[in-house]
Structure 1
Amino acid sequence: MPFSRELSSLPLTLSQQKCLSEKGFLMVNDINNCDSVELNIVELTKAPATKTAFQLFEEEKKMREIYSFLENLDDLLKGVLRPGLVTEFVGLPGSGRTQLSLHLSISAQIIEYSLSAETIYICTNMDFSVSRLREIIHNYRNKCIHFKDFNEDDIMKNVNFINIMSIKELLECLEYLNEFMKNKSNVSLVIIDSITYPLRFCEKSEKTSYISSIVTQLRYLGELYNFAVLLTNDMTTIVGPNGSEVVPSLRDTFYHIINNRILLSQKNNNFQAEILKCSTKFPTKCSFKFLDDLT
């Protein structure tokens, strides 16, 4: 039994990791003979199940796709928003991050032409607008054939909203998600808008740990409960030897741990999405319009 492993390498919840760390437990061997810690070490340290590439391919074919029902954009998003994958929308203010997140909180409810899924919208920056959500639902019902037979109130009921004000509340929310999902088998998408805001108030030395824990747990829950994860991120200006440069916030730590990064931009009410990183397809970009702009 690999007792020399670090506890951080085990599939523990954030609260379990924090509790053990505060008690001075760092290695599996530290808690092996400790009766006060109720953990099944044999279960936690067992080797992961082995699958063939063909089995993975068959599982991938059965994964449900999430569509925006926005022309051009779905070609770019196909194979991106999938269960267990963490996708980032990054861009400047006005680039459409929140607007697209609101659209997807509605469109992700459609599974095989039926309104059979729910979404979870975690807001950290107080940008969530119920009136704007209703406008988007109205546009979908008027301009998208997939929604014309569904009631506006039923669509609203399928968006589960959570308001977060701090990194502590975000960590507690992820613990809550694990329990919430046990009674919800039809959640297709979890959105956090934005991942940047609660991390702004953390010590620089803590950010890397928080980012790793948050994304790792979201990916684990996504695989376990079959939902995709969407995070929005801000842009920031850095000054280097060659002058100033606008880059995504959270820098390399975040880039290397997420699966997909999509850069959003807007000019003269023309929106563009560009894949900068993707685990399932090559970089590409497209122009698209929101339903408000369609005649």
Structure 2
Amino acid sequence: MAPLKSLEAEHPVIDSNFQTFCASHGIFSVEDFLIHDLDELAGSAQQHPTSEKLKQGITEVHSIIDSQHQPWLNGLELLDDALHFKHVLSTGCEGIDLLLRGGLREGHVTELVGPSSSGKTQVCLLSAANVATKHMGTVVYLDTGNSFSPERIVHFVGDISDHAFDQAGQRVFQKVMNNILCHPVFDIFTMFNLLHRLEFSLPSQMRKGEQVRLLVVDSISSLITPILGNSGSQGRALMISAGYLLKKLAHEHNLAVLVTNHTVGGEKGIPKPALGQTWKSIPHVRLLLSGDQGNSTRTISVLRHPSMASGKSTRFTI
């Protein structure tokens, strides 16, 4: 599915007037229709001077949704998909890989939660380096806080690669570094734009043999927290739409998605993941990372996992 603006050329009724009307209701993409009260939207369109054309636009978007709706899958088909297309990608951290039975699973959104300086970005950088080196896949890294460190990537790739730095080793090293694509992202709308562009480009990349294996968003809370302030339902709708798009990319294109989230004060001062109950249901896997500043040892615990009991934890060294 796509931003409404990208549909105008093929569907003239989805013009700038229709897009402006939708934007006033917090709807910017086809996905947003799936989480919006359409009766309320139709009622609002009825009061508009161009009500008939707006209702035609709503009907057109419905048709687009129906045309892209995937068929139901039975349990055997889902199992076959999981076994043959949803691989597990090592993070490069032995402790985390053991805890997760191999690493990050394609098709899943994995959320890494932790306070500042707990090592979330280091895990993201190590995972990116390991996937690009050992799986020879492309990594798309969305950096929301200027925390991406090419020097750390170089260090990790050097540790992971078994190649000597001769001419052949240099070619491997260069290919690995070229496979990690970093995009600075400082607002949620830029993220939506990049994710939609990625979605459109993935099929052609697959045909060229250039498979994106890992998508990193460090951090998702930096983009979502600002829109939740005083924007009410519109902010929550954008948050759900962002989560839906990440899950869609993971499932339909066999990506492992890794996002980071910070912690906030909870009951009795116990830290809890930010973004509240609405976001809680988005990630397939939630992991809590903790440790003392100045100490390289970290503890990672399972908060949520589709096939693992919550509370399981392990310690590792960054």
Instruction: Note the 1:118-129 alignment, pairs <5 A.
Output: 118-129=138-149
| Aligned counterpart for 1:258 among listed residues 283, 292, 305 | 283
Distance 1:230 1:42, change over 3 A: closer
| Aligned counterpart for 2:172 among listed residues 147, 151, 157 | 151
- Whole-angstrom CA distance in 1 between matches of 2:73 and 2:283: 23
- Whole-angstrom CA distance in 2 between matches of 1:117 and 1:246: 35
The alignment's C-alpha RMSD in Å is 3.1
Q: CA deviation at 1:234?
A: 0.5
Gaps of 5+ in 1: 1-11, 291-295
Corresponding residue number in structure 1 for 2:274: 249
Distance 1:192 1:15, change over 3 A: farther
Q: Which amino acid aligns with 2:72?
A: T
Please give the TM-score of this superposition, normalised by the length of structure 2: 0.74
Corresponding residue number in structure 2 for 1:100: 123
- Whole-angstrom CA distance in 1 between matches of 2:264 and 2:282: 19
Greater alpha carbon shift after TM alignment, 127-136 vs 177-186? 177-186
The answer to whether the Cα contact below 8 Å between 1:80 and 1:87 also exists between their aligned partners in 2 is no
- Whole-angstrom CA distance in 2 between matches of 1:133 and 1:35: 47
Please give the TM-score of this superposition, normalised by the length of structure 1: 0.79
Instruction: Note the 1:56-205 alignment, pairs <5 A.
Output: 56-62=78-84, 63-78=86-101, 81-109=104-132, 115-141=135-161, 151-185=172-206, 186-204=211-229, 205=232
- Whole-angstrom CA distance in 1 between matches of 2:197 and 2:64: 26
The answer to whether the Cα contact below 8 Å between 1:260 and 1:278 also exists between their aligned partners in 2 is yes
Structure having the larger proportion of residues in helix: 2
The answer to whether the Cα contact below 8 Å between 1:79 and 1:280 also exists between their aligned partners in 2 is no
Aligned residues: 269
- Whole-angstrom CA distance in 2 between matches of 1:138 and 1:221: 30
Q: Which amino acid aligns with 1:131?
A: E
- Whole-angstrom CA distance in 1 between matches of 2:259 and 2:309: 20
Q: Can you list the C-alpha shifts for 1:222-267, whole angstroms capped at 9, x where unaligned?
A: 22211111110011124x5xx4332211121111222110011124
Corresponding residue number in structure 2 for 1:227: 255
Q: Can you list the C-alpha shifts for 1:53-97, whole angstroms capped at 9, x where unaligned?
A: 122112211221101232232121236622321110001122110
- Whole-angstrom CA distance in 1 between matches of 2:24 and 2:245: 22
Corresponding residue number in structure 1 for 2:2: 13
Greater alpha carbon shift after TM alignment, 71-80 vs 126-135? 71-80
Gaps of 5+ in 2: 6-13, 26-32, 43-52
The structure with higher relative contact order (CA 8 Å, sep 6+) is 1
* Percent identity between the two aligned chains: 21
Q: Can you list the C-alpha shifts for 1:273-295, whole angstroms capped at 9, x where unaligned?
A: 111101132232111223xxxxx
Q: CA deviation at 1:23?
A: 7.9
- Whole-angstrom CA distance in 1 between matches of 2:189 and 2:316: 37
Distance 1:197 1:33, change over 3 A: closer
Find the residue that maps to 1:230 and give its secondary structure.
strand
Q: CA deviation at 1:42?
A: 7.1
Q: Which amino acid aligns with 1:288?
A: F
Q: Does 1:273 align with 2:300?
A: yes
The answer to whether the Cα contact below 8 Å between 1:120 and 1:161 also exists between their aligned partners in 2 is yes
- Whole-angstrom CA distance in 1 between matches of 2:94 and 2:58: 57
Greater alpha carbon shift after TM alignment, 165-174 vs 200-209? 200-209
